[in-house]
Copies of this chain bind each other. A is one copy, B any other.
């Protein structure tokens, strides 16, 4: 089989004995064409194993059918499920996915952003956790954000995090816990994660229970996370309930607690957050707040499509959460 490199529309035209325009028309099913011409052109295309050059097309049409995805990492149950679904939904609309995993490094995120823009992407879906990347404000590009407020004009697709936090905390209280600790991000970044914490604080206050929060950075090493969790148990041996802001931390907390001799759920009850398929598979016993991850991806792509189509009235969307009852709380 011959290579298709360097075979261009002009070559097809020559071989078929027609003009470039005609070939282009056949390719794009446009205008009137005699069947004879169509056949001739197709024959030439097959003979030469011709494949149209998208780059040239894109240059002309100013549309690349490329959508950028900027997330901290793929190697995480939540993000891998989200990105998988995003990719799959984008595919249905004819878009290809250009990856940009920032590892939550602001320099890298900025760099990715620049590069994606240079690639003339048609749209962007972001879910990175970086603080204060002002770049996004100045972009005249359809953007949808997931679980993070970026700028006023950028629609956000997010779970009902406050409700989630409420459900989680209430579950622990209903279980009879008196010393409930919450783990969350280290700072008030622009993430909607903060609402989980707000709900925890509100519910605790309403029940006259003491509020204790530990900060676990999403990006720190496994060792650092575990060390903070250890500290938590040393400083608060009385803890009898923990609401973790994500399932990965809930898992680490469970493992650490077991090592320290806590029985779950007898001595210590745990509620996580996310409810990804992967964690459900590996840790079905975990009681957790399940986000509609697949739906988030679906909605995000829908909204992006609307923005790309020119709709400037695209609104943010909040999606439901539900408590999945396992055996840890």
A interface residues, Cβ below 8 angstroms from B: 1, 3-5, 49, 51-56, 58-59, 64, 66, 69, 73-77, 80-81, 83-84, 87-88, 91, 96-101, 103, 108, 112, 114-120, 137-138, 140, 222, 248, 251-252, 255, 277-279, 281-284
Query: Chain B residues with Cβ under 8 A from A120's Cβ?
Result: 53-55
B59 touches A88 (CB 8 A): no
Query: Known interface pairs A51-B117, A55-B120, A98-B96. Does A282 touch B284 (Cβ–Cβ under 8 Å)?
Result: no
Query: Chain B residues with Cβ under 8 A from A81's Cβ?
Result: 75
> Chain B's nearest CB lies how many Å from the CB of A108?
8
- Among the listed B5, B51, B56, which residue makes an inter-chain contact with A59, where contact means beta carbons less than 8 Å apart? B56
Query: Known interface pairs A99-B96, A101-B88. Does A222 touch B55 (Cβ–Cβ under 8 Å)?
Result: no
Query: Chain B residues with Cβ under 8 A from A116's Cβ?
Result: 96
> Chain B's nearest CB lies how many Å from the CB of A223?
12
* Interface majority SS (helix, strand, loop, mixed), chain A: helix
> Chain B's nearest CB lies how many Å from the CB of A211?
28
Query: Chain B residues with Cβ under 8 A from A5's Cβ?
Result: 140
Query: Known interface pairs A4-B140, A80-B75. Does A255 touch B279 (Cβ–Cβ under 8 Å)?
Result: no
- Having A75-B277, A282-B283, one finds 15 other A-B pairs with CB under 8 Å, namely A5-B140, A51-B117, A55-B58, A55-B119, A56-B59, A73-B84, A75-B80, A76-B278, A87-B99, A87-B101, A88-B103, A96-B119, A222-B281, A251-B282, A255-B284
- Among the listed B3, B74, B96, which residue makes an inter-chain contact with A74, where contact means beta carbons less than 8 Å apart? B74
Query: Chain B residues with Cβ under 8 A from A279's Cβ?
Result: 282
Query: Chain B residues with Cβ under 8 A from A99's Cβ?
Result: 69, 87, 96-99
Query: Known interface pairs A54-B119, A58-B55. Does A138 touch B278 (Cβ–Cβ under 8 Å)?
Result: no
- Among the listed B74, B114, B251, which residue makes an inter-chain contact with A84, where contact means beta carbons less than 8 Å apart? B74
> Chain B's nearest CB lies how many Å from the CB of A107?
12
Can you report 22 residue pairs joining A to B where beta carbons are below 8 Å apart?
Answer: A1-B137, A4-B140, A51-B117, A51-B118, A55-B55, A55-B64, A56-B59, A59-B59, A74-B80, A75-B81, A75-B84, A76-B80, A84-B101, A88-B101, A88-B103, A91-B108, A91-B112, A96-B100, A248-B281, A251-B282, A252-B281, A282-B283
- Cα distance, A84 to B73, chains bound together (Å): 7
Query: Chain B residues with Cβ under 8 A from A252's Cβ?
Result: 281
Residue of A52, A54, A98 with most chain B CB atoms under a 10 A cut-off:
A54
- Cα distance, A227 to B137, chains bound together (Å): 51
- Cα distance, A91 to B77, chains bound together (Å): 22
A98 touches B97 (CB 8 A): yes
Query: Chain B residues with Cβ under 8 A from A55's Cβ?
Result: 55, 58-59, 64, 119-120
- Cα distance, A124 to B116, chains bound together (Å): 19
- Cα distance, A222 to B114, chains bound together (Å): 40
Query: Chain B residues with Cβ under 8 A from A56's Cβ?
Result: 59
B74 touches A87 (CB 8 A): yes
- Cα distance, A88 to B111, chains bound together (Å): 13
